[in-house]
Structure formats: C-alpha cells, structure tokens
Amino acid sequence: MARKNNIGRRPTGTPSRGRSSEGNQEIRIEEQDDKLVDIIEVREKGMDFFERNRKPIIGAVVALIFIVAGALLYQTFIAGPAERNAAQQMQQAQYQFEQDSFALALTNPGQAYPGFLEIADEYGSTEAGNLANYYVAVCYLNLGQYEAALDYLEDFDADGDLLPTMKMGVMGDLQSELGDFAAAIDAYEEAVDAAGDNYVTGGYYLNKLGLLYRHQGETENALDAFRRLKMDFGQSAEAAQADKYIAALEQ
C-alpha cells in the first residue's frame, strides 16, 4: 500500500493560518496593548500617591523600625536581665517557703537575699515578680492574714495550664477562711474546671469542694463531687477517701 504524502499537511492541533487567524491576532494585540496601558496607569498612580505622601510613608516606616528595634533592645538589655536577676534573687525565699517558714520567706529569707514582698514590689513586671505575688498570698494565708493575702492574689496574673488552678484554689481557701462560703465554692469549682485532666490538682480541689458542700449541708452537691472525684480523678490521693464520704452522705 502506498504511503500517503503528508508534506504540506498541518500537524494536528495547530491553528490554521488564514484571514480569521489574522483577525484574532489583531484582537489579541489590542488586548495586550490595553493591559499594558492599564499597568502603566496603575504604576503611575502608585508613584504619584507615593510622591504626594512620601514624608508620612517614610515617617511611618522609620517609626516602625524604631519600635521593633526598641522592643529588641528592651528585651535584650532590660527585660531579660531583670527576669534572670529576679529568679536568682527569689531562690532563698523559695527555700524558706518550702520549709514552711512563711514569715522569713516574706521579708528575711537570709544570706542578704530579698523576701517575696520585696521581689514582688521591685520586679513586678517580670514573670518571677508576678509569681512572687502568688507566694506572698500563700504566705499570708498560712499566717492568717487573709485580707492581705487576697490583695496579692488578685495581683497575680495566672497563665498557662497549672497556675490558673493554683490561683483559684488559693482563692477558695481564702474565701473559706473569710467565711464567704458561696465565693469559696465558686472558686473551687473554677479551680477544678481549670485543672482539666490533671488528676493531682483536679482531685485535690474537687475533694475540698465536696467537703465544703458537706459542711454547708448541701448533700446532693457533696455526693456529686465525691462521685466525680472517684470517677474522673480516681488516680488522685484524695479519691481513696471518696467511698467513705459517699457512704456517710448516703445514710
């Protein structure tokens, strides 16, 4: 069979050359010219805007640079060293706190180191200084100075997973000591909620909540608290006593 001669044939998929093709090409060229004109106009408008607002734009950029540089300098030469210094200064007070020497931890921990009161006052803008507010509150709580403890606890900014639980737990203790049991119940409930799945802190404050409900004669609420303690925080040390309280309340 003779092979077909493909010379001069247009490859499949390529456009044919003809009058209609030339017309389409002219349309495309006009469209490209229009787009080029639009781009030039936009660029000229942008340049015109920049020229008319050169000073405020440059001023804003310079201000932003100063702000960023200032923040870096503050963190490097002021905030960072202050944070490290506050943490170092607090070590001796923490030692006295762990020994239950709360009065010494507050004002005179020894070895010429400052107490929590001085650290909270001098380094209040640092994380260590903020934490010192919590320590002061707990010290005053143990020393029976509940109003003073409440003042410092309210100044304590609790962030993260653990500190909100600790703050509200101490708040519950303080309100209970002050005789405001409704406020104490609210605080313990917040402490348990903030604890999440942490069975150590969650179990500890849920047990306190159950005992306070029991003290207030709210039997059903107390039962709910101890049953939840047993079910949700069964690994906690307090859960071992839950059955005893449940049995006593069910009588």
- State the Cα–Cα distance between residues 219 and 250, nearest whole angstrom: 8
Within-domain flag for 236: yes
Query: Of 114, 141, 157, which closes a domain?
Result: 157
Quickly state the pLDDT bin for 62 (edges 50, 70, 90). low
Pick the more confident residue, 185 or 59. 185
The reply to whether 232 and 162 lie within a common domain is yes
pLDDT the model gives residue 59 = 53
Residue 84 in this model has a pLDDT that exceeds 80:
no
Instruction: Say which residues have a Cβ less than 8 Å from residue 81's Cβ, sequence separation at least 6.
Output: none
Q: What type of residue sits at position 242? A: A
- State the Cα–Cα distance between residues 115 and 101, nearest whole angstrom: 11
The answer to whether the CB of 233 falls within 8 A of the CB of 203 is yes
CA distances from 230 to 102, 120, 193, 239 (A): 34, 39, 16, 5
Instruction: Supply the pTM of this predicted model.
Output: 0.67
Highest mean pLDDT of the ranges 3-7, 78-82, 246-250: 246-250
Give me the number of domains the chain comprises. 2
pLDDT the model gives residue 100 = 94
Query: Of 128, 157, 186, which closes a domain?
Result: 157
Query: Of 157, 178, 213, which closes a domain?
Result: 157
The reply to whether 177 and 233 lie within a common domain is yes
Within-domain flag for 214: yes
Give the rounded distance of the alpha carbon of 96 from its chain centre: 30
Within-domain flag for 75: yes
| pLDDT digit string, tens, across residues 124-137 | 778 888 989 999 99
The reply to whether 173 and 233 lie within a common domain is yes
In the chain, how many H helices and how many E strands?
13, 0
The reply to whether 58 and 110 lie within a common domain is yes
The reply to whether 59 and 152 lie within a common domain is yes
pLDDT the model gives residue 148 = 97
The reply to whether 86 and 170 lie within a common domain is no
The reply to whether 153 and 213 lie within a common domain is no
The reply to whether 71 and 107 lie within a common domain is yes
- State the Cα–Cα distance between residues 141 and 102, nearest whole angstrom: 9
The reply to whether 149 and 237 lie within a common domain is no
| pLDDT digit string, tens, across residues 138-186 | 999 999 999 999 999 999 999 888 899 999 999 999 999 999 999 999 9
Give the residue numbers spanning the domain of 242: 158-251
Give the rounded distance of the alpha carbon of 95 from its chain centre: 28
Quickly state the pLDDT bin for 80 (edges 50, 70, 90). low
Of the chain, the percentage scoring pLDDT greater than 70 comes to 67
> What would the DSSP string read from start to end of 77-121?
IIIHHHHHHHHHHTHHHHHHHHTT-HHHHHH--BTTB--HHHHHH
Mean pLDDT value across residues 201-229: 96
pLDDT the model gives residue 241 = 94
The reply to whether 206 and 243 lie within a common domain is yes
Long-range contacts, 101-110 (Cβ 8 Å, 24+): 102/138, 102/139, 102/140, 102/142, 102/143, 103/139, 103/143, 105/135, 105/139, 106/136, 106/139, 106/140
Residue 110 backbone phi and psi in degrees, to 5: 105, 165
- In CATH, what number is assigned to the domain containing residue 171? 1.25.40.10
Pick the more confident residue, 195 or 65. 195
Tell which residue, 228, 122, 83, 251, has the closest CA to residue 136. Answer: 122
**Looking at the DSSP assignment, which residues form a beta bridge with residue 113?**
110
pLDDT the model gives residue 126 = 84
